[in-house]
Structure 1
Amino acid sequence: MDTTAVILGGGYAGVMAANRLAGQGHPVMLVTPDERFTQRIRLHEYTAGTRADPRVDYATLLNPKVQLLAGRAEAIRPVTRTVRLVSGVRLDYGYLVYAVGSGEGRVPPGAVAPDRFSGAVEARTRLSRLAPGERIAVVGGGLTAVEVAAETAGAYPENPLTLYTAGNLVPHFSAGARAGLLRGLRSAGVRVQTGTVNPDRLPEAGVVLWCAGFGVPQLAARSGLPVDAAGRLALDATLRVPGQDRIYGAGDAAVITDPGYGYLPMTCASAMPMGAEAAGNILRSAAGTPPARHNSGFLGQCVSLGRRDGAVQFLTADYTARSFHLHGRSAAVLKEVLCRMTLRWIRGEAKKSGAYTWPAGPRMTPEPSPQVLWS
């Protein structure tokens, strides 16, 4: 049986996992349909036309020992430890990391979702064709919607922009931080309207940007692997699929279903530690040593409100808002620094396995026993 670790997905989680494994001499194949790595945290800039290209060549990010294969997985066969690609190619694996990402949610006809590169390309094109005075609508109340709305309003000041949110903007932020967000959006020229948008009756606008949540590929469900209600691959606290000692998951398309992990959001700040930890547990398994519980947490979250404004909500390890928050130019600078650091962290891991570290998560009560983790 092939000992190669096959990693499905070339996003933040998959690339981090590949680098950690390759740096320790473990054979790695990274399978991705993308020609280049997409900085999803830059897509709002690309959509608005303030960034030329959010993509980076994989050759500049990956450890040279990582084998890169262009393709998309169609089915996983755990019994034979194989993956079948859409092209018909069959890959054998010794270990598998499921890191296929998100961005396959339902988008109503007439709208476009800029949370993936293909959608951002279409959104950018549609926006560039607007006549002065034509309206822009952004639907959603999360971080993606806020950043897309602010960036687009700044780039298209002659096109009135309304952000439609079903409830509070960025609900995990404190009331004070949320008030700052609203001030920043108003300053950027964004009108905020509260109320649920019917997908069958979109707002009247020249362009409708749909930012109302992520969907995930149904590859795990099609392959008979355990999933949650949203179709995310179900994992235990060691990032392994229960009952499958060779399949691990990381990133948006996977979820830890053991108690105590509900705080982890679908974000690159969760994906990169998960990718590194999944790789670490593969290395431990190959060495015959016990796996480690996943342990990652948060310090804060930065939000872009255009090129000169931003907000920072400081957080507890379990993603709960603290009272302290930051706004204005200094917040925008910090956001930009952290965006640049994501690539530095990935490249640092490519040069030295184990170089990437992250904040510890909240204390788990009660602590899971090793016997439970291995069940």
Structure 2
Amino acid sequence: MTGNIDVVVVGGGYAGVMAANRLRQRDDVAVALINPRRMFVERIRLHQVVGGSDDAVVDYREVLAEGVRLVIDTVTRIDAAGRSVTLAGGGTVGYGYLIYAVGSGSADPGVPGAAEFAYPIASLEEAQRLRPVVDAAPATAAVTVVGAGPTGIETAAELAEAGRRVTLVCGGVLGPYLHARGRRSVAKRLARLGVTVLDGPGAKVTAVTRDTVQVSDGRTLPSQVTVWTAGFGVPDLAGRSGLSTDALGRLLTDETLTSVDDVRIVAAGDSAAPSDLPFRMSCQAATRIGAHAADTLLARIAGEQPAPINLGFFGQCISLGRRAGIFQFASKDDTANGLYIGGGPGAKLKEFVCKHTVKHLADEARKPGSLTWVKDDKRHELLRAKRGEARATR
């Protein structure tokens, strides 16, 4: 690497790309982005890979700033003391500062048979692996989607719209984030598509076999293709490298996103746990957290005190096939409210969000430092409450 200050960004998703681009505000900062894939993955389109309506990849040349060096490899260890990372392909890369943006993926389902017989779709490779399985299944084959978050809902709708016979097993409430009004709208659209929705306390999957899914209320569902979208996990790179993590393996940081162990390591995206109070997984959060991670490093390089993160939200958008969707509005503190846009306008708004998320990255590549975001002052109240609870348990 050339330049006076070397920064390594580990991970080339929404947060990592945004951080790498934003760091280009300084000519004396040399940035290397290390990622295992040659293409940028639009993770919010992976259900479309399964349904066959999109490939969910963009050339890095469209979203990555000139001057950022793309290294196609996987980091296997971070040596914080030696300020270097070890690559799976051999060799090491040194750094002055590091941004940890490894993202998230599938978690161990912890359900008998799920790891063997269900298909996760949290990564591009997983979605690509499932696509030919769906294609090869008879048109009348029973398809079960497990998990009622955005990915589960979107996958169920996408496959049902293509004529598949789909059951969505929620394991609890359909669309937990949604307001009751938005949830009813989603349920109506799924019903129109022919999706059977199993929700409530008896709708937890207890076992998966090659051709069935067993549910906690005692039912055994036929399932020739089982898609697993429940759960959340992160790579264990931080823990393996001796850095402090939360219970799920996210890097523990302060409110500036700086590692509690090392002032030269900053986290971004799904793999960050600021004050052990992480933000909701979303591309909206990932891009803004990535930008703030870069701002933290730029402040530190300039000899200034980094600011704590202040991030507000708009809501959540979910596609319901290609012809319908929902945009669930929320307060800035990420609490869903009764306002939503559904149907065809909801689908158009979801597509607008998908395209403009990539556009935000491209805009930041062309003009580093241009991204702005909504602020929310309620986070400090959550932090105070969390600290009060901690003191009360001592």
Normalised by the size of structure 1, how large is the TM-score?
0.93
Give yes or no for the alignment of 1:35 onto 2:38. yes
The change in CA–CA distance for 1:24 and 1:165 in structure 2 (over 3 A counts) is same
CA contact (8 A) 2:19 2:293 kept: yes
Residue in 1 that maps onto 2:133 = 126
Partner of residue 249 from structure 2, selected from 231, 234, 242: 231
CA offset at residue 82 of structure 1? 0.9
Residue in 1 that maps onto 2:84 = 82
Cα distance in 1 for partners of 2:167, 2:208 equals: 18
Cα distance in 1 for partners of 2:232, 2:379 equals: 28
CA contact (8 A) 1:23 1:351 kept: no
Residue in 1 that maps onto 2:147 = 140
Cα distance in 2 for partners of 1:247, 1:279 equals: 11
CA contact (8 A) 1:74 1:84 kept: yes
Aligned sequence identity (%) = 39
- 1:284-321 Cα distance to aligned partner (Å, 9 max, x none): 10010110111111112111001111111110111101
Aligned with 1:255: secondary structure?
A: strand
CA offset at residue 213 of structure 1? 2.0
Give yes or no for the alignment of 1:178 onto 2:180. no
Residue in 1 that maps onto 2:10 = 8
Give yes or no for the alignment of 1:207 onto 2:225. yes
Q: Give matches, 1:266-345, under 5 Å.
A: 266-345=281-360
Count of residue correspondences:
363
CA offset at residue 322 of structure 1? 1.2
The aligned amino acid for 1:303 is I
Residue in 2 that maps onto 1:373 = none
Aligned with 2:256: secondary structure?
A: coil
Range with greater deviation from structure 2 (2-11 or 334-343): 2-11
Aligned with 1:109: secondary structure?
A: helix
- 1:342-368 Cα distance to aligned partner (Å, 9 max, x none): 111000000111111121123344699
RMSD: 1.8
Cα distance in 2 for partners of 1:148, 1:360 equals: 32
Cα distance in 1 for partners of 2:379, 2:140 equals: 53
Cα distance in 2 for partners of 1:362, 1:116 equals: 33
Residue in 2 that maps onto 1:192 = 197
Cα distance in 1 for partners of 2:275, 2:68 equals: 30
CA offset at residue 57 of structure 1? 0.8
- 1:78-98 Cα distance to aligned partner (Å, 9 max, x none): 111111111221111000000
Residue in 2 that maps onto 1:372 = none
Residue in 2 that maps onto 1:44 = 47
CA offset at residue 324 of structure 1? 1.2
Aligned with 2:348: secondary structure?
A: helix
Residue in 1 that maps onto 2:171 = 166
Range with greater deviation from structure 2 (193-202 or 66-75): 193-202
Give yes or no for the alignment of 1:256 onto 2:274. yes
The change in CA–CA distance for 1:45 and 1:98 in structure 2 (over 3 A counts) is same
Cα distance in 1 for partners of 2:168, 2:261 equals: 44
CA contact (8 A) 2:106 2:231 kept: no
CA offset at residue 121 of structure 1? 0.4
The change in CA–CA distance for 1:94 and 1:44 in structure 2 (over 3 A counts) is same
Cα distance in 2 for partners of 1:121, 1:364 equals: 38
The change in CA–CA distance for 1:217 and 1:368 in structure 2 (over 3 A counts) is closer
The change in CA–CA distance for 1:367 and 1:305 in structure 2 (over 3 A counts) is closer
Range with greater deviation from structure 2 (101-110 or 174-183): 101-110
The change in CA–CA distance for 1:365 and 1:90 in structure 2 (over 3 A counts) is closer
The aligned amino acid for 2:346 is A
Normalised by the size of structure 2, how large is the TM-score?
0.89
The aligned amino acid for 1:331 is G
Cα distance in 2 for partners of 1:236, 1:340 equals: 32
Q: Structure 2: 5+ residue runs without aligned partners?
A: 110-114, 214-221, 385-394
Partner of residue 121 from structure 2, selected from 104, 114, 125: 114
Q: Structure 1: 5+ residue runs without aligned partners?
A: 370-375
Cα distance in 1 for partners of 2:377, 2:196 equals: 37
Cα distance in 1 for partners of 2:237, 2:261 equals: 18
CA contact (8 A) 1:296 1:358 kept: yes
Residue in 2 that maps onto 1:216 = 234
Cα distance in 1 for partners of 2:204, 2:108 equals: 16
CA offset at residue 2 of structure 1? 7.1
CA offset at residue 330 of structure 1? 0.9
Aligned with 1:29: secondary structure?
A: strand
Residue in 1 that maps onto 2:107 = 105
Cα distance in 2 for partners of 1:314, 1:151 equals: 22
